[in-house]
């Protein structure tokens, strides 16, 4: 218990629960859920099963995306009256593509202590076993449901050098991989993490083109919960990226006009990016 203006107030514990395997709940999470006065849960019926499994009888109240802003006041009142409250979601870590942000923000703004009780999180579980660079990554959450919006979001991150992590619903997994293949290129390496910590756990790594065909050929891979990890963009070697024909056009123009103009005109003629041709032109000038 902490104090706001000398009055004892409760603590809000943000408690991670399993993403499949119930053994993944931590000893601290169980103790916290047992000891708090109230548990704010995304879906009370779903969480009741979890609590019953562990013999925990703490009362539950709903805190989901539709009532979080209004009902948040109710949890805040309890906290300010001195009761400890735990926040949980249906699976994994609250606030990670799950409700809780408004409550946590309101609690902190009111001077209530907010304590994380960490545990399972699908994106971190997937990243820890995917074998893709994990020193820097970008969690992109869920992509838009429609292809136009999805492709534009993918376009926006297509030259991000960090490992990209997406959550996706099983009925959209195939079309999302198809869009990734088209936007990022069929050769970009990706890993599909499916049903992590559960009986049919799969971690399949392949180039996006191959991964798409593998998922398309096996309807089992289009079921269950999935995380997609895509390796970050790597700048192509300058010479490798520019075709012989584009180089020929660039060389011809370099003989006739200043470098910047030659690169711009060659880009218009060949469709190759101006910046890339500019870099190539600089290198060719250096070598000449």
The minimum distance between CB 124 and ligand SAM, in angstroms, equals: 8
Stretch that binds ligand SAM, among 6-14, 121-129, 203-211, 242-250 (CB under 6 A): 121-129
**Given candidates 48, 80, 96, 264, which one binds ligand SAM under the rule CB under 6 A?**
96
Residue count, binding to ligand SAM (CB under 6 A): 24
8 Å CB contact between 78 and 7: no
Nearest CA-CA partner of 74 in 38, 111, 113, 35: 38
Stretch that binds ligand SAM, among 100-108, 115-123, 265-273, 278-286 (CB under 6 A): 115-123
Tell me: does residue 98 bind ligand SAM (CB under 6 A): yes
**Given candidates 122, 154, 165, 265, which one binds ligand SAM under the rule CB under 6 A?**
122
Stretch that binds ligand SAM, among 84-92, 172-180, 240-248, 261-269 (CB under 6 A): 84-92
Place of tokens 């802003």: 69
Nearest CA-CA partner of 239 in 187, 277, 286, 188: 277
* Long-range CB pairs of 197-201, under 8 A, 24+ apart, other chains included: 197/18, 197/19, 197/20, 197/21, 197/24, 197/120, 197/125, 198/20, 198/21, 198/224, 200/224
Applying the rule CB under 6 A, the residues between 169 and 208 that interact with ligand SAM are 169, 193-198
Tell me: does residue 93 bind ligand SAM (CB under 6 A): yes
Tell me: does residue 229 bind ligand SAM (CB under 6 A): no
In the complex, which residues of this chain contact ligand SAM (CB under 6 A)? Answer: 19-20, 89, 91-93, 96-98, 121-123, 167-169, 193-198, 225-227
């Amino acid at each position: 218990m902490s104090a706001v203006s000398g009055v004892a107030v409760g603590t809000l514990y943000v408690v991670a629960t399993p993403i499949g395997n119930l053994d993944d709940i931590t000893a601290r999470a169980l103790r916290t859920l047992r000891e708090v006065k109230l548990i704010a849960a995304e879906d009370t019926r779903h969480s009741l099963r979890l609590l019953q499994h562990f013999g925990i009888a703490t009362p539950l109240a709903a805190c989901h995306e539709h009532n979080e802003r209004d009902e948040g006041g109710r949890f805040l009142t309890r906290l300010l009256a001195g009761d400890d409250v735990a926040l949980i979601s249906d699976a994994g870590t609250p606030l990670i593509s799950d409700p809780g942000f408004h409550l946590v923000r309101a609690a902190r703004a009111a001077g209530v202590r907010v304590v994380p009780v960490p545990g399972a999180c699908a994106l971190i579980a997937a990243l820890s076993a995917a074998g893709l660079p994990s020193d820097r990554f970008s969690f992109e959450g869920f992509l838009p449901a429609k292809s136009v919006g999805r492709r534009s979001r993918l376009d926006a991150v297509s030259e991000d050098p960090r490992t990209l992590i997406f959550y996706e619903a099983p009925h959209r997994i195939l079309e999302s991989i198809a869009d990734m293949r088209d936007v990022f290129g069929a050769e970009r390496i990706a890993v599909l993490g499916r049903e992590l910590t559960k009986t049919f756990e799969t971690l399949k790594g392949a180039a996006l083109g191959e991964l798409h065909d593998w998922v398309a050929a096996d309807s089992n891979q289009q079921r269950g919960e999935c995380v997609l990890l895509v390796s970050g963009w790597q700048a192509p070697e300058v010479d490798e990226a520019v075709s012989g024909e584009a180089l020929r056009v660039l060389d011809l123009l370099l003989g006739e006009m200043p470098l910047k103009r030659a690169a711009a005109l060659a880009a218009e003629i060949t469709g190759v990016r101006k910046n890339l041709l500019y870099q190539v032109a600089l290198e060719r000038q250096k070598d000449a």
